[in-house]
């Protein structure tokens, strides 16, 4: 059965157990998966397609062999493709208790998987397409209205143009704006330029991830290739704080290093698959005590810069190099 993305709010799809979401719009696919999960409230288990293909029997047994006391599950299979079509077609959908969601890329009209689900009465397939500029502008306008932030139409256009037609990218940029503004209620075009394209070659997030991963070479490369302004440092520190607090919350749940993957997979909201290797490395490198100390230093630097931003770039770089130097010394 084919379902349009906007029909999710209008139709009752609780009788379905198998969902295929495909297309280029990663942000919209994420929203759709979130809506489907919310409709069932099951335990969530995430697999990569490659894991399923390597061990089909294990996957089948997880679905079929259930006791009366087992809780229902929602299986999300990321980066699914045509390769998984036979595995899906072999499932007896009428006896499924658990929910299976396939997050696919592009499936063309000849796709076996697409044709099979489209003709099925027990499964749903939802195509997604790139957002047009107006739909993205509407998402951004709703965000600014809700948060009572004043922006010009030119600023809205600039923000949307930086998002490559993907609402996921837009929402990431809006999160940056939210972290940056705090109680400020006016956003200028210059600020949007800084926030959405902090540097020609690297983003603030890449700088922070390289630093927290103790990658001295990559950190130096990013710092050397970017001509930072004073406004940039405030935002970089905000990203540092945001990521450091996330790592701290994960470290709090880890009793020993063998728990890391389990803690990452069970974290809510789920950690994006691209970020998992980076976060895993950071959790292996940092202790709860050291991360707490780092957050205290970040708060102190932010207060200092707010009082006088003329030394902001020097303070930021000194902080990063001091952190790397201490970490490298302690790990050697």
Which of 283, 306, 276 is CA-nearest to residue 213?
283
- State residue 186 phi and psi, 5-degree precision: -130, 130
39-92 residue pLDDT tens: 887 888 889 999 999 988 888 888 877 766 778 889 999 999 999 999 998 886
Instruction: Give percent helix, percent strand, percent coil of the chain, each to the nearest 5.
Output: 60, 10, 30
Average pLDDT of the segment spanning 152-167:
81
What is the reported pLDDT for 194?
65
Q: How many CB atoms lie within 10 A of CB 101?
A: 24
Domain count, the chain: 3
**The domain spanning residue 282 has which CATH number?**
1.20.272.10
Query: DSSP of 184-233, one letter per residue?
Result: --B--HHHHHHHH-SSSS--HHHHHHHHHTT-HHHHHHHHHH----HHHH
Same domain, 123 and 206: no
CA 211, CA 324: separation in Å to the nearest integer? 7
Last residue of a domain, one of 181, 197, 213: 197
CA 114, CA 125: separation in Å to the nearest integer? 7
Last residue of a domain, one of 128, 157, 177: 128
111-151 residue pLDDT tens: 999 999 999 888 999 999 888 888 899 999 999 999 888 88
- On whether the CB atoms of residues 223 and 207 are closer than 8 A, the answer is yes
Structure tokens of 204? 């603030």
22: left (phi over 0), alpha (psi -120 to 50) or beta: beta
Same domain, 97 and 36: yes
Same domain, 168 and 252: no
Please check the confidence at residue 331 and state whether its pLDDT lies above 50. no
Write down the pTM of the prediction: 0.58
How long a stretch of residues is the chain?
332
Same domain, 191 and 214: no
Domain that includes residue 116, residue range: 5-128
Last residue of a domain, one of 174, 197, 220: 197
Same domain, 123 and 139: no
Same domain, 185 and 103: no
Place of tokens 């290093």: 257
Q: How many CB atoms lie within 10 A of CB 18?
A: 20
Ordered strands of the 43-48 beta sheet: 43-48, 73-80, 99-104, 18-23, 123-128
- Largest CA-CA distance found in the chain, in angstroms, rounded: 67
Same domain, 147 and 121: no
Average pLDDT of the segment spanning 5-21:
83
Helices 312-331 & 216-225 angle (0-180, nearest 10): 170
Same domain, 119 and 140: no
215-264 residue pLDDT tens: 999 998 888 877 777 777 877 888 898 889 989 999 998 877 778 888 88
Which of 249, 247, 239 is CA-nearest to residue 298?
239
Average pLDDT of the segment spanning 195-214:
73
Please check the confidence at residue 180 and state whether its pLDDT lies above 90. no
**The domain spanning residue 140 has which CATH number?**
1.10.8.60
What is the reported pLDDT for 327?
53
């Amino acid at each position: 059965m084919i379902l349009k993305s906007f029909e999710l709010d209008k139709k009752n799809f609780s009788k379905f157990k198998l969902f295929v979401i495909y297309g280029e719009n990663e942000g919209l696919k994420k929203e759709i998966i979130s809506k489907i999960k919310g409709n069932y409230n099951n335990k969530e288990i995430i697999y990569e397609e490659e894991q399923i293909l390597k061990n089909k029997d294990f996957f089948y047994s997880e679905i079929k062999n259930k006791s009366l006391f087992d809780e229902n599950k929602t299986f999300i299979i990321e980066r699914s493709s045509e390769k998984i079509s036979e595995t899906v077609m072999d499932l007896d959908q009428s006896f499924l208790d658990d929910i299976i969601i396939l997050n696919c890329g592009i499936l063309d009209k000849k796709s076996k998987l697409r044709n099979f689900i489209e003709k099925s009465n027990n499964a749903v397939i939802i195509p997604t397409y790139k957002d047009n500029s107006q739909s993205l502008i509407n998402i951004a306008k709703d965000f600014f209205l809700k948060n009572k932030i004043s922006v010009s139409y030119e600023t809205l256009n600039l923000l949307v143009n930086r998002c490559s037609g993907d609402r996921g990218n837009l929402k990431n940029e809006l999160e940056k704006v939210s972290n940056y503004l705090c109680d400020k209620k006016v956003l200028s075009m210059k600020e949007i330029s800084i926030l959405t394209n902090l540097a020609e070659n690297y983003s603030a997030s890449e700088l922070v991830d390289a630093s927290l991963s103790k990658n001295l070479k990559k950190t130096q490369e990013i710092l050397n290739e970017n001509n930072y302004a004073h406004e940039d440092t405030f935002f970089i520190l905000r990203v540092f704080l945001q990521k450091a607090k996330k790592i701290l919350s994960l470290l709090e749940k880890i009793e020993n290093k063998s728990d890391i993957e389990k803690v990452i997979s069970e974290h809510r909201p789920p950690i994006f698959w691209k970020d998992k290797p980076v976060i895993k490395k950071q959790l292996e490198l940092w202790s709860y005590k050291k991360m707490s100390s780092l957050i205290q230093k970040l708060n102190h630097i932010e207060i200092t810069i707010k009082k006088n931003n003329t030394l902001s770039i020097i303070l930021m770089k000194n902080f990063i190099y001091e952190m790397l130097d201490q970490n490298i010394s302690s790990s050697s």
